[in-house]
Amino acid sequence: MSVVPAAVEALRTTFYLGRSQEAADLFQNLVITCRLEHPDDGGLLAHLLSGQASLFNATGRYAEAVDPAREALQVFQELYGESFWRVAAAKLVLGEALLASKQIDAAEPLLSEGYASLLSAPGEASANEAMTAAGRIRALYTAQGRSDLAAEWQQR
Per-residue pLDDT tens over the stretch 45-79: 999 999 899 889 989 999 999 999 999 999 999 99
In sequence order, the 6+-apart residues with CB closer than 8 A to the CB of 73 are: 87, 90, 91, 93, 94
pLDDT of amino acid 38: 87
Cα distances (Å, whole numbers) of residue 110 to 17, 116, 137: 31, 10, 12
Cβ 153 vs Cβ 138: under 8 Å: yes
For residue 74, which of 107, 104, 50, 51 has the smallest C-alpha distance? 50
Rounded Cα distance between 37 and 7, Å, is 13
**What confidence category does residue 143 fall into, taking pLDDT thresholds of 50, 70 and 90?**
confident
Q: What share of the chain in percent tops pLDDT 90?
A: 30
Q: Per-residue pLDDT tens for 102-117?
A: 888 898 889 888 888 8
For residues 134-152, b (16+ Cβ closer than 10 Å) or e, as one string? bebbbebbeeeeeeebbee
Structural domains of the chain, ranges and CATH numbers in brackets? 4-154 (1.25.40.10)
